[in-house]
Structure 1
Amino acid sequence: MSQPNHRPRAFPISIKGVVVRAGKVLLLKNERDEWELPGGRIELDETPEECVAREITEETRWKVTTGPILDTWMYYIDQAEKHVFIVTYGCYPDGDSEPVLSHEHKEIGLFAEHDVPGLTMPDGYKHSIVTWFARLREDAPELVR
């Protein structure tokens, strides 16, 4: 039974990918001057795995194979005054081309794991990056060297 004045809250969902190649993680700088993982909004006709692969390709021209879910959390964006539900996936790079910056971001970068703690970015992204590096060291060490 719901209360008469109760309105369920809805939140946008953002599907993000952690891509590591040659020991470096792919990051993008957004309009708030924060580094973030590539990714974006899911479309009605796609799975979350397809979404993150498509978004990474659109934003960087990198093709990836989507791996496991790493984390989920609610992120509050101060400047926009809204909450966004974040889902992060570990992704495997398909190829060795250089990433290309799209019109959606201000900057693109590849960062070593030890550089990530000092970057301006949400802690949830940092946690996902640490988690993916740890898994890759066990399952695909050639990507972290």
Structure 2
Amino acid sequence: MKDRATVLCVRNDRILLVARDRSRWALPGGRVRRDEAPHEAASRELEEETTLVADELMYLFQFNGFNTQHHVFFAEVGPHLAAQPSNEIARCKWFAPVKIATLSASVPTRGIVELFFRHIGMLEPDDVRLISQQVDRVTP
């Protein structure tokens, strides 16, 4: 199983997603390199993909995808900083959590967002149900 550092950036109740050219939306993140701690990979990937530097990273949980174990971190970034696509990333955008259910987004992204907002109680029951239905439709 591959290890991936995944970053959940939330600002004003919106989540930062990134996308490569002709690709699904996803949470920022990437492979954990050999001799690199997951939190180091999360910080590096966030900056490489969005130019954002996290003030603080907080470890949230692990999420197991099909072949990937996501080490999920919460990132706080200053309210005045703008996310800019960088490296292989073509687009960065902030989305309301319920909007993610209607996007072409990766299955792990939908699952991680659902777990996070269910845990902190930010989504209404109908919002969680909508996201869950979208995840269930694409999960084998």
- The answer to whether the superposition gives a TM-score over 0.5 is yes
Instruction: Indicate the structure with greater strand content.
Output: 1
Which segments of 5 or more consecutive residues in structure 2 lack a partner in the other structure? 123-140
SS of structure 2 residue aligned to 1:118: coil
Structure 1 runs of 4+ off > 6 angstroms?
A: none
Q: How far apart are the structure 1 equivalents of 2:65 and 2:115?
A: 18
Q: Flag the structure with more relative contact order, 1 or 2, with Cα contacts below 8 A and sequence separation at least 6.
A: 1
Q: How far apart are the structure 1 equivalents of 2:3 and 2:21?
A: 19
Residue 122 (structure 1) aligns with: 106
Report the alpha carbon displacement of residue 18 of structure 1 after superposing the two structures with TM. 1.1
Instruction: Indicate the structure with greater helix content.
Output: 2
Pairwise mapping of residues 43-122 of structure 1 onto structure 2 (< 5 A)? 43-64=33-54, 65-75=56-66, 84-96=67-79, 97-122=81-106
**1:70–1:131 CA contact under 8 A, matched in 2:** no
Residue-pair matches, total: 120
**What TM-score comes out, normalization by structure 1 length?**
0.72
CA RMSD of aligned residues (A): 2.0
**What TM-score comes out, normalization by structure 2 length?**
0.74
Q: How far apart are the structure 2 equivalents of 1:74 and 1:130?
A: 14
Which segments of 5 or more consecutive residues in structure 1 lack a partner in the other structure? 1-10, 76-83, 139-145
SS of structure 2 residue aligned to 1:114: helix
User: Kindly, what percent of the aligned residue pairs are identical?
Assistant: 22
Letter paired with 2:76: P
